[in-house]
Amino acid sequence: MKTTLSKGKLSRLLKLSNTNGYIAATAIDQRGSLSKSLSKALGKEASHEQVTEFKQLVSEELTPYSTAILLDPEFGWPAAEARDRNCGLLLAYEETGYDAMQMGRLPDLLPQSSALRYVEQGVDAVKILMYYDPDDLEEINDIKHAFIERVGAECDSVDIPFFFEAVTYSDKLPDAGSAEFARVKPNKVKKYMQEFSKPRYKIDVLKVEVPVNMKYVAGTAANTGYEQEAVYTREEALQHFRDTGAISPIPFIYLSAGVTNEVFLETLQFAGEAKVPFSGVLCGRATWQDGIDIYGKLGAKELRKWLQEEGKQRMVKLDSILQQVTTPWWQYYGNQNAMN
């Protein structure tokens, strides 16, 4: 069933995408994880200024090739201001990480942020990341469902798009990169896409994980060296893509989720082969993570040079694939002018 968009949400979604109707966004809203990675590369604790500078350099050099950039309010404002004038802005609204001492990886909001403040600051969309296991205890997931309902209602009240990202996990299988987790992942992704595409959450774009771990798909380049551990045949993996792709009545985009650039590009081509109607990507570490060591060991000047060469090349290659395999997000809303 086609849904409709308010005028404000429509205009902002158009700012986050290109004329072909897909989103090619650069994600660099990482905070704790990026600080740790930079500290390791630097051989000392990364300062607030260094994390901020890294984000700003990525923004300056990659946003000319991005339809949007995802940042955070703690380190990201200089990067937001430095972005290309044609590049839209998504801003994270959740606290980074979770309390490992508390059961259920419960989410929380940044205490000095709100959807209204983001609108006033010229942000084009609010983004929430939440860890979610659809097979967790009902009382845990009920808390998470209510949390997303509140954020969705808040975004709706000020007419700003709500991008929601669920990252699945299992406390019973703590290694999300294992073959064991790869076996249960497709079903978990299906379940959370079914849940969070419900109208009650007022989510405008779902940011989803691909339903398989590509390194366990037999016959793929990502599976090289893992042949003995292949969890899915090629056709089984394609079917998982098709099954999840048929679930959501609202637009969805894929996350790079920390894989290498080569693996992510192969993944998107795989999704294209499965004819999944996805509307773009939020690509983070796959594009810029190799620049962390360059920044740490050689400094800002060399990082900029790497971004201008290798970073640009990766963005251009990514876009060339997206042109061939994506579905315009507005098709989910009827047409480009769908609004109340």
Domains of the chain: 7-333 (3.20.20.70)
∠ CA(60), CA(65), CA(70), 5° rounding? 65
195 CB contacts (<8 Å, ≥6 apart)?
A: 134, 145
The confidence score (pLDDT) of residue 336 equals 58
The confidence score (pLDDT) of residue 228 equals 65
Each residue's pLDDT tens digit, 71-119: 999 999 999 999 999 999 999 999 998 887 788 999 999 999 999 999 9
Q: Are 24 and 215 in contact (CB under 8 A)?
A: no
Q: Are 295 and 301 in contact (CB under 8 A)?
A: no
Provide the CA 53 distance to its chain's centre, in angstroms: 22
Provide the CA 174 distance to its chain's centre, in angstroms: 21
The confidence score (pLDDT) of residue 102 equals 86
Q: Are 245 and 274 in contact (CB under 8 A)?
A: yes
Q: Are 24 and 319 in contact (CB under 8 A)?
A: yes
pTM above 0.75, yes or no: yes
Each residue's pLDDT tens digit, 297-337: 999 999 999 999 999 999 999 999 999 999 999 999 876 55
Q: Residue 212: which of 191, 246, 252, 239 has the closest Cα?
A: 239
Residue ranges of the chain with per-residue pLDDT less than 70: 1-2, 226-228, 335-340
